A and B are shown apart, each in its own frame.
Chain A
């Protein structure tokens, strides 16, 4: 069955068609959501919200782009909005955490652990940049797909990736050669 037929059936309330659409796309959406938040509970919330919104708005899907592109445009918006909210809450807890760190005394020595360095460097990026890095370098999306999902031009996606990598380069440089071996 073609994607168009599947969508048509889903629009008419065919649950099997909805499930088929879900099965075809959920893994990619979940992977992206998880990469961005690093928490299973949040990722599940984001995926749930993405598909609820998508099924609710299927009538508005004109079919100009692939269903996957449309779904990803919803998913990226849900994830970025969700992360913004989570970070707002975290910011409120920050003063206490900072006080704890200060009470701890000495500054941390350079951390040679790749996982921690990589995580810290990526987490230090703005979400809009991190999204492009995650999509392109970790999940293998093309710039065309990223641009469509984020509602930006393909060239803007490339520019964001380039700037994000430049920022990461400075962070990861001390250990990069070792890790590249």
Chain B
């Protein structure tokens, strides 16, 4: 007997190992006593799955939602982003014209961030612990991207920090003159916010599907293609003002990492890849953060 199993407070002498085995055998009906096997029900599900009808049979109950038309969602995100960019350019031009007529030229898009009212914290690449909690910082939908009221402020379309990929142009001019108002045509910030939410809904659906497949020890080959599309949207958002919110940007960067891992996952079930992906999702608390960042009613398209 080991010291750790010896307990002086025990009233009875602990049984030896064989006795434990005997006890378990004798009382095995007390521990998860299996009912009769539902042979026909399981067989039907096996046949359905193998035929491809109904996908994974009744096991589907473990999948909260797994949109098969995921490409529609990524298409929608891309469309919204494109619209946001177009509106941004349009508003730039309009403001430049207005400023050209009324006074000094409007500030360039490349204006440094020094003029912002709420300067963002330096990006150290580290994610503050507070962001792990749903409801904190990134969790509140209104804090995603740029809050609606912020969109009306002149500094709403602040330039992206240096080092960020510059693929997408800023949606609105960097206006340092408080008198300059955003055009009333539409609000690019709202479009970015909508795109962010839709993309996050897509990402959540994708990760839920991935985890479900992982639990079932199988992997839909289409998941890599899906991940690639969501990854593209994620990178577009990272290059957009939607990522000006530090919490949002951290979330997008973590998503970028895990999506890259899923895209690079080998075709065959590779346990090492999968374990790495699991660890990323878990260590970075991705699912709760994603769910916290998606307002109720917004999901994958």
Contact = CB atoms under 8 A, between A and B. Distances in A.
B42 A170 contact: no
Interface in A127-181: 133-134, 136-138, 161-162, 165-170, 172-180
Contact of A137 (B7, B21, B46): B21
B218 to A, nearest CB: 7
A162 B17 contact: yes
B186 interface: no
A155 to B, nearest CB: 16
A45 B59 contact: yes
B42 A137 contact: no
A123 to B, nearest CB: 9
B217 interface: yes
A interface bracket (residues with beta carbon within 8 Å of B): 35 or more
B233 to A, nearest CB: 26
A169 B31 contact: no
A49 B217 contact: yes
A43 B218 CA distance: 17
B57 A34 contact: no
B217 A53 contact: yes
Contacts of A115: 30-31
Contacts of A167: 5
B10 A49 contact: no
A85 B23 contact: no
Contact of A30 (B13, B20, B22, B37): B37
A67 interface: no
B31 A35 contact: yes
Contacts of A49: 59, 216-218
A101 interface: no
B58 interface: yes
A3 B4 CA distance: 48
A178 B11 CA distance: 11
Contact of B30 (A82, A118, A168, A170): A118
A48 B21 CA distance: 30
A113 B13 CA distance: 19
A176 B5 contact: no
Interface string B1-23: 11011010011111111011111
Contacts of B97: none
A37 B42 contact: no
B267 to A, nearest CB: 15
A56 B52 CA distance: 13
B45 to A, nearest CB: 5
A138 B30 CA distance: 10
Contacts of A133: 24
Contact of B32 (A38, A81, A174): A38
Given A52-B49, A85-B215, A118 B27 contact: yes
B288 A92 contact: yes
Most-contacted residue by chain A among B5, B17, B32, B41 (CB, 10 A) = B32
A44 B7 contact: no
A80 to B, nearest CB: 9
Contacts of B62: 45
B235 interface: no
Interface in A99-132: 114-115, 118-119, 122
A177 B22 CA distance: 12
Contacts of B22: 180
Nearest to B214: A85
B216 A82 contact: yes
Contact of A34 (B12, B13, B15, B34): B34
Interface of A: 19, 22-23, 26-27, 30-31, 34-38, 40-41, 43-45, 47-49, 51-53, 55-56, 77-78, 81-82, 84-86, 88, 92, 114-115, 118-119, 122, 133-134, 136-138, 161-162, 165-170, 172-180
Given A31-B37, A36-B32, A179-B23, 12 more contacts: A26-B43, A35-B32, A41-B61, A49-B59, A52-B49, A81-B217, A85-B214, A114-B27, A119-B32, A178-B12, A180-B19, A180-B22
23 contacts: A23-B39, A26-B42, A30-B37, A36-B32, A38-B32, A41-B61, A44-B59, A45-B62, A45-B216, A49-B59, A49-B218, A78-B217, A82-B215, A114-B27, A115-B30, A118-B24, A122-B31, A133-B24, A137-B28, A169-B5, A173-B7, A174-B10, A180-B23
